[in-house]
Amino acid sequence: MTDISYQPTLAGLRAFAAVAEKHHFSLAAAGLGLSQSTLSQALSSLESGLGIQLIERSTRRVFLTAEGEQLLPHAHAVLDAAAQFSAAAAGVADPLQGTMRLGMIPTVAPYVLPAVLAGISERLPGLNLRVIEDQTVRLLTGLREGAVDAALLALPTETTGMTEIPIYDEDFVLALPPGHALAGKRRVAPAALADLPLLLLDEGHCLRDQALDICRNAGVRAQLANTRAASLGTAVQCVTGGLGVTLIPQTAVAVEAERSGLALAYFAAPRPGRRIGLVFRTSSGREDSYRRLAGIIGDVIAAQHQVELVA
């Protein structure tokens, strides 16, 4: 009589399935990479635990009993489920397999996503990205709470418990209304911002703080325009309409200049800019995988934009 509390081992089920397939103990053992005695012991332990004879043995032939025929599909189902579990565990162990929640700030996402998604699809076909666009503070909160796995942010974030992998540096470009006196200039001093109505993004955007930092570093007080924008695209449209000037990152130039017709000017060296990198929880233990991901992201962005990869 079968003891319903008995839990068959995978070794026993594998031995049973192998013998049922090969109808031969030595062939079944070779297929599993076991000695024949080890296989026989695993099968005997299974039959003993179940209280059922699964395989009928004789000196000339091996075949399934009626009970063995009935239970074989269940053995296969358990072995298949175990294999699927192992495959899923491998995907969980490798963050570059399966789904990853990747955060991006709004002044990065619209301009690099096409290149990043195409590059990752080609080089990491097992990775399914779920992109979360949000401001830096909320993405850092999501990282801390485990709602975001990693994020492309402006560095440094100086956040405890986070590891930052620098990826690329990019210049800021001065966006101007069409026909502006500075349009096309390539050596504009940052101090010139003192005489320009600077249009800033709303509170919470790191680009707003970076623009104000540029003014402070240049020793000038920003002359703020009366308009603020919730997105860089809106800010650019306001600039095109003559409501002020703004700063845009190099990766945004191609998209924003083409669709808005705004004029551009470039700062003198050393040109102000920002560093973008991948940020993740130090406790995740995934630094090697995230460094690989950061390298891929850097390669595909550099191939399409004028940015300098961080060595």
Q: How far is CA 148 from CA 138, 183, 306, in A?
A: 10, 41, 28
- Same-domain check for residues 39 and 101: no
98 shares its domain with 86: no
CA distance 216 to 191: 9
Rounded mean pLDDT, 289-308: 92
In contact, 59 and 65? CB cutoff 8 Å: no
How far apart CA 284 and CA 221 sit, in angstroms, is 42
| Domain of residue 20, CATH code | 1.10.10.10
**Where on the phi/psi map is residue 158: left (φ > 0), alpha (ψ -120 to 50), or beta?**
left
Q: Above 70 in pLDDT, residue 2? A: no
Nearest 10 degrees: Cα torsion 280, 283, 286, 287: 70
Domain that holds residue 244: 94-310
Q: How far is CA 302 from CA 16, 84, 169, 253, in A?
A: 56, 38, 10, 14
Q: Are residues 121 and 85 in the same domain?
A: no
Shared-domain flag, residues 111 and 177:
yes
Query: 């004028």: which residue's tokens?
Result: 306
Please count the other Cβ atoms lying within 10 Å of the Cβ belonging to residue 49: 16
pLDDT at 151: 97
Selected residue with higher pLDDT from 26 and 103: 103
- Return the pLDDT at 87: 62
Last residue of a domain, one of 90, 118, 135: 90
* Higher per-residue confidence, 279 vs 206: 279
Residue 118's pLDDT is: 93
Residue 222 falls within a domain, yes or no? yes
Residue 26 has pLDDT above 80, yes or no: yes
- Kindly state the average pLDDT of the residues 226-247: 87
**What percentage of residues in the chain have a pLDDT greater than 70?**
96
Q: Where does a domain end: 66, 90, 114?
A: 90
pLDDT at 208: 86
Looking at the fold, whether 80 and 103 belong to one and the same domain comes out as no
Q: Which pLDDT does position 89 carry in this prediction? A: 64
Q: Distance from first CA to last CA of the chain, Å, rounded?
A: 69
Domain count, the chain: 2
Q: Are residues 132 and 220 in the same domain?
A: yes
Which of 41, 56, 90 is the endpoint of a domain?
Answer: 90
Average pLDDT in the 72-93 region?
A: 77
Pick 177 or 97 by higher pLDDT.
177
Same domain? For 154 and 40 the reply is no
121: confidence class by pLDDT, cuts 50, 70, 90: very high
Average pLDDT over residues 54-82: 87
116 shares its domain with 70: no
In a domain, 3, yes or no: no
| Contact indicator for 147, 284 with CB cutoff of 8 Å | no
Mean pLDDT of 287-305: 93
Residue 4 included in any domain: no
Euclidean distance between CA atoms 284 and 265, whole angstroms? 42
Query: Are 49 and 116 found together in one domain?
Result: no
In-domain check, residue 27: yes
Output 120 or 260, whichever has higher pLDDT. 120
Integer CA distances (angstroms), 310 to 159, 169, 267, 299, 307, in order: 20, 7, 21, 11, 9
- The answer to whether 168 and 231 have CB atoms below 8 angstroms apart is no
Q: Which two tokens stand for residue 118?
A: 């195409």
Q: What pLDDT shows up at residue 202?
A: 82
Q: Do 226 and 138 belong together in one domain?
A: yes
Instruction: Inform me whether the pLDDT recorded for 3 exceeds 70.
Output: no
How much is the average pLDDT of 173-188?
Answer: 91
CA 174 to CA 33: how far, in whole Å?
A: 68
Residues 117 and 235 in one domain: yes
**Is the per-residue pLDDT at 86 higher than 80?**
no
**Paired tokens of 74:** 């269940």
pLDDT-derived band of residue 93, with 50, 70 and 90 as boundaries? low
In angstroms, the CA 253 to CA 172 distance is 9
Residue 1 domain-assigned (yes or no): no
Question: Do residues 206 and 73 share a domain?
Answer: no
pLDDT at position 311 is 64
Q: Quick one: which of 228, 252, 223 has its CA closest to 239? A: 228
Min mean pLDDT across 88-102, 197-211, 293-307 is at 88-102
Where residue 142 sits, what CATH number does that domain have?
3.40.190.290
Structure tokens at 31: 């297929």
Asked whether residue 2 is assigned to any structural domain, the reply reads no
* Range of lowest pLDDT (20-34, 87-101, 111-125, 128-142): 87-101
Task: Give the pair of three-digit tokens for residue 24.
Answer: 């031969």
273 located within any domain? yes
